[in-house]
């Protein structure tokens, strides 16, 4: 009887490209049925030396020797060691055209095209902005200065209290990743929408109250913030004066 050679299930179509993907092989081998048993981590430190008895009257009786004997020869090639990084995270430099109270145009995100008011720069380098929410629906949020256009329109925001806002203020709470039961899945796996915190809603109203009073002092500024920025035909952004 002729001897047949075993062919691998996931053969190569061309060098570097297999017939099945990693996920397909995972399903074919039923690797999802295997239980992953974590190896318990031991707190005991490995022994580096051991005590060995020594024969003879004048040898001390015992000697401390290393567990792993050092190699007799040095390696032929030097083993490269990674260099220690001396880089220091420098604070992000704010553009000279962006000052507190400057009206910005958002270029990305769900509020792209909206005009917002810049309040201050946070320690992370991000910009703290608001619509205000009462005019164009943009709440207090953080944006990168790479995705905004600064305009020549400025507001006096000296009366706005923004000392409490930092990066920790916008940090979201971690949700529990506990899996539900089978009954919960068939009953309806729709996640309940988390209610908006009342303290943040109050902070938004307090900031908007001061900003709205300052905006209404300038004619047409309210309509300017409500209007969405857009480009029409034969209008080029590099020729515009913002």
Per-residue pLDDT tens over the stretch 8-25: 788 888 887 888 988 999
Residue 18: enclosing H or E segment and its boundaries?
strand 17-18
Q: Greater confidence, 96 or 238?
A: 96
Q: Answer whether residue 238 shows pLDDT above 90.
A: no
pLDDT confidence of residue 86 = 85
Which residues does 32 contact at the CB level (< 8 Å), separation at least 6?
26
pLDDT category at 99 given cuts 50, 70, 90 is very high
Mean pLDDT of 121-142: 91
pLDDT category at 119 given cuts 50, 70, 90 is very high
* β-pairing verdict for 148-154 and 102-106: antiparallel
Mean pLDDT of all residues in the chain? Answer: 85
Residues forming a β-bridge with 49: 66
pLDDT confidence of residue 46 = 83
* Residue 152 CA, distance from chain mean position: 32
pLDDT confidence of residue 81 = 84
Q: Answer whether residue 177 shows pLDDT above 70.
A: no
Q: Taking the CA atoms of the chain, what radius of gyration do you get in angstroms? A: 33
Q: 26 and 32 in contact (C-beta within 8 Å)?
A: yes
Q: 118 and 104 in contact (C-beta within 8 Å)?
A: yes
pLDDT tens-digit map of 26-78: 998 888 888 888 888 888 888 889 998 888 888 888 888 898 888 888 877 78
pLDDT confidence of residue 240 = 83
Residues 103, 114: Cα–Cα separation, whole Å = 10
pLDDT confidence of residue 94 = 92
Quote the tokens at residue 25. 């092989």
Mean pLDDT of 108-123: 92
pLDDT confidence of residue 184 = 64
Mean pLDDT of 210-225: 90
pLDDT confidence of residue 11 = 85
pLDDT category at 235 given cuts 50, 70, 90 is confident
Q: Answer whether residue 143 shows pLDDT above 90.
A: yes
Transcribe 91-124 into DSSP letters.
Answer: PPPPPTT--TTEEEEE-SSTTTT-EEEEEEE-TT
136 to 40, 106, 199: CA distances (angstroms): 55, 12, 21
pLDDT confidence of residue 178 = 62
pLDDT confidence of residue 188 = 60
pLDDT tens-digit map of 84-97: 888 888 888 999 99
């Amino acid at each position: 009887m002729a001897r047949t050679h075993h062919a691998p299930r996931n053969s190569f179509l061309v060098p570097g490209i297999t017939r099945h993907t990693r996920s397909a092989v995972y399903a074919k081998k039923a690797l999802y049925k295997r239980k992953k048993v974590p190896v318990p981590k031991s707190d005991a430190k490995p022994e580096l030396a051991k005590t060995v008895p020594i024969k003879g009257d004048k040898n001390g009786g015992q000697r401390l020797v290393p567990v792993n004997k050092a190699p007799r020869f040095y390696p032929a090639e030097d083993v490269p060691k990674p260099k220690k990084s001396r880089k220091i995270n420098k604070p992000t430099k704010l553009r000279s055209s962006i000052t507190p109270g400057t009206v910005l145009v958002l270029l990305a995100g769900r509020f792209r095209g909206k005009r917002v008011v810049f309040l201050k720069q946070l320690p992370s380098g991000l910009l703290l902005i608001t619509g205000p929410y009462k005019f164009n629906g943009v709440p207090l949020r953080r944006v990168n200065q790479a995705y905004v256009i600064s305009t020549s329109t400025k507001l006096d925001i000296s009366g706005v209290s923004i000392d409490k806002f930092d990066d920790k203020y916008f940090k979201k709470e971690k949700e529990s990743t506990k899996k539900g039961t089978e009954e919960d899945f068939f009953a309806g796996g729709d996640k309940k929408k988390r209610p908006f915190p009342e303290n943040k809603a109050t902070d938004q109203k307090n900031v908007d109250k001061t900003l709205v009073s300052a905006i209404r002092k300038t004619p047409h500024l309210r309509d300017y913030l409500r209007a969405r920025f857009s480009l029409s035909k034969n209008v080029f952004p590099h020729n515009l004066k913002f």
